[in-house]
Chains A and B, each alone.
Chain A
């Protein structure tokens, strides 16, 4: 196992202060001892207390554990240890794990096994079918009410006109509608209603944007209204879009896809103190793309186990769907830094990527984001707009919000103005670049933090 790079470690920092403090600990003299085994690194760091803190990192994650009182996660000690390992790997002699390391690691492994076993047990458990069916029927009924209510709201909105809906009182009324939909256990619909006010006042071109948004909601409602007559997989997708949660346990219990999975892109968005992270995986052997979602509210840390720019051998389980994309990691090894992707893993051309998108849209018309992996991609400037072009001379517009950030320049610099493998998300109008993979390595250009 090779150490993560400095950038990869810093990407795990929960905030800038932790990153800075972690770098301050990236000096051998701050540590009483450090060591590593095949599966872990650890160290003792003298803090302000009497006894040094015990920091351990499980590399099949990485997962961190430190007995300092900090509520940040990973704390500065964990970051400092990983940074030090990146900087001075020779200082970390391979040796037997001390008890406080091995106990923790084995405890973790046990927990993971238990989780999978429990998931299997839950999936196989003879359930009280009658009670379950009753609960399901109750929820279905409430969601149906929610769908009907949402339909009324939507019709009413259009009858009165969108211009009238831009008044302050009308906008605040929508929050109440959204809350009612949450009560009706249809959070997916609530999300559509909640996004409406911001689109209504979103500046130039808002008319087309809001109409597009409401027409997607209409599609979802129309599908929900005939849920019973839909083919099962489409039914599942509609239910997911309405806000039914899919069972993690079922996914963990079902067989997954074994492959060498590359973490090709990752981005974090923040909305209302909820951070959501999208991690895109690409299987080297199967060519499959998978999306792993993680959420964290407030100061809660995001899971640290998926680091962009690494690849690992493992099993990935997909949530059932007509367009299986969202996935969970069932098992994995420690992994290594991502190396050059094979040519065949990419979309070939923009034309091919777009037709993949069109096909996906036919399966799931309310899909928002489609991953693209463009080999031979490069940046082009058209006046004030930036485009991403392929070798055939076709180009896609780059998200204007992205083009205003420093990330655009990181992307440009990483390509050196020459064709490179660029990953990103396509939303039907704009391309949001997420990473560049060149022979020199993986370069993250994805936004992290505020959306």
Chain B
């Protein structure tokens, strides 16, 4: 057939379309004739479909040197993906990484898809997808790794000028890791023109690892026109050991903390009291001291706590001549609450292990209801102190089982085997006592089980199963299932 002999089917269809759109009655055409032509053309088009040229093939998936995880471990991952639990999936990936194995081929796409939808894309999870994951991610734009976390882009200076506030803050965080001075330089370069929201955002980006290098700049930001910026600068300066702001707080603290010889004391006792300021000094506002209490309580106590929290801890030993442990013992009955509050915060800001241990022990002894506030000190404690703290939480006479669990649940994990055993023992003790309230306990128990050492998981599962009957609570049953899955997962990776 020569090319001119007949119109191609698509051409025929194209010609017919205008007529059928406006209606055939206009040209008095027979519908069945038009439809026959259309049917012929369409069928011819279908029957004569010509394949298209394939073009360049895709790159092939490179072989992976590391072996796939065992079928058992793979099945557990598949199960986690049908009912996703971020914590367990990340733990799976970490275990795989430790064992030098990767995700089985068939699960790579599902895991990548899950990973790409997470607000925080875990490195370990991406790594677990192995060479196949990298290959697929190179072909699917939605699965590319966010670039901000690794290298500084080449056009950083330009991006700083033109990017959105969020982009610039992300860029700042990245550059900070490589070159803190350059990051600060960028902030300064546009400071005069940036809006208040952006200025606050940039200071927040500096906060995480602010140092004396940033101090002069931050100090000047205390005079910013926007209050939000001034507060952000003060919050950053208070974390910098050696900042002028901290020096001012320390000087103020010296006027507040008083150490007096105990009258008629048998031991060489000292009593530490607080002389709370009578008036609010407007100059304090610049340093971020709020005048109005955010919670309840008196204004004078409120100012005092803020000042003491920002002061160097050494001021306490200086004024009293006592080591940390003794300082805490010598606090006057009336001032102990405010002082402990402030010292807890100061120890956390200064990341001081020297104070963290004594503070934790004192809080537990005097105000066990405040155990939840101790969790911020947890990473500063030695393992011995951590275990002692857990023991004290468990044994604290004024706490209910629920309070104990809530306190334990708030402690960051993962927990050592010894600690996990200790917590397990607590549950075993309670398993035999009166029926626990599944509704109330489900939350803290669920938060705890993810942090338990794998060595205690099996026993914990049995204990919980014994404590709570099958009908008691759906949430508890889910927790138990999760524990069982975790135990299985660790077993699979050990095998």
Q: Which residues of A does B touch, CB under 8 Å?
A: 6-7, 10, 16, 19-20, 23-24, 26-27, 46, 48, 87, 154-155, 158-164, 207-208, 211-212, 214-216, 218-219, 222, 350-351, 354, 357-358, 361-362, 365, 378-382, 387, 389-390, 393-397, 406, 409-410, 412-414, 416-418, 428-429, 440, 443
Contact = CB atoms under 8 A, between A and B. Distances in A.
Contacts of B38: 211-212, 214-215, 218
B481 interface: yes
A211 B136 contact: no
A351 B46 CA distance: 13
Contacts of A414: 105-106
Contacts of B25: 159-161
B470 interface: yes
Interface stretch (B28-36, B340-348, B404-412): B28-36
Contact of A413 (B13, B34, B54, B105): B105
B471 A48 contact: yes
Given A413-B136, A428-B49, A154 B31 contact: yes
Given A87-B75, A365-B39, A428-B45, 15 more contacts: A6-B75, A7-B106, A23-B82, A48-B470, A162-B20, A162-B21, A215-B36, A219-B43, A365-B43, A379-B58, A393-B53, A413-B106, A416-B60, A428-B49, A443-B106
A219 B25 CA distance: 21
A10 B49 CA distance: 38
A394 B51 CA distance: 6
Contacts of B56: 380
A361 B51 contact: no
B102 to A, nearest CB: 13
B54 A393 contact: yes
Interface string B115-135: 000000000000000001001
Nearest to A443: B106
Contact of A378 (B16, B26, B36, B57): B57
Task: Bin chain B's interface residue count.
Answer: 35 or more
A427 B136 CA distance: 28
Contacts of B112: 409
A395 B17 CA distance: 29
Interface string B76-113: 00110011000000000000000000000110111011
B47 A361 contact: yes
Most A CB within 10 A of own CB, among B23, B56, B59, B135: B23
Contacts of B22: 161, 163
Contacts of A207: 17, 20-21
Interface string B455-495: 00000000000000011000000000100100010000000
Interface string B303-316: 00000000000000
Nearest to A362: B47
B110 A417 contact: no
Contact of A215 (B35, B51, B54): B35
Given A159-B25, A361-B46, A416-B61, A406 B109 contact: yes
A6 B82 CA distance: 12
B24 interface: yes
Contacts of B47: 357-358, 361-362
Contacts of A380: 54-58
B109 A413 contact: yes
A412 B57 CA distance: 12
A389 B54 contact: yes
Interface in B36-74: 36, 38-39, 42-43, 45-49, 51-61, 72
A48 B26 CA distance: 73
B35 A218 contact: yes
27 contacts: A10-B82, A19-B82, A23-B82, A27-B488, A46-B470, A155-B31, A158-B20, A158-B35, A160-B23, A161-B20, A161-B21, A161-B24, A161-B26, A162-B20, A208-B14, A211-B13, A211-B42, A219-B43, A350-B51, A357-B46, A361-B43, A389-B54, A409-B109, A409-B140, A410-B110, A417-B59, A417-B135
Contacts of B79: 23, 26
Interface string B131-168: 01001100110000000000000000000000000000
Contacts of B36: 215, 218, 222
Given A216-B39, A395-B55, A354 B32 contact: no
Contacts of A379: 58
A6 B78 contact: yes
Interface of B: 13-14, 16-17, 20-26, 31-32, 34-36, 38-39, 42-43, 45-49, 51-61, 72, 75, 78-79, 82-83, 105-106, 108-110, 112-113, 132, 135-136, 139-140, 470-471, 481, 484, 488
A163 B54 contact: no
B32 A155 contact: yes
A394 B34 contact: no
Closest 9 A-B residue pairs measured CB to CB?
A161-B23, A389-B54, A394-B51, A218-B35, A428-B46, A417-B60, A215-B39, A215-B38, A395-B54
A26 B488 CA distance: 11
Contact of A387 (B52, B113, B132): B52
Given A218-B32, A416-B60, A417-B60, A395 B52 contact: yes
Contacts of B484: 27
Contacts of A222: 32, 36
B62 to A, nearest CB: 9
B30 to A, nearest CB: 9
A428 B41 CA distance: 13
A77 to B, nearest CB: 14
A428 B48 CA distance: 9
Nearest to B34: A158
Nearest to B39: A215
Nearest to A397: B52
Contacts of A416: 60-61, 105, 132
B75 A211 contact: no
A350 B48 CA distance: 13
Contact of A158 (B23, B60, B113): B23
Contacts of A396: 51-52
Contacts of A397: 52
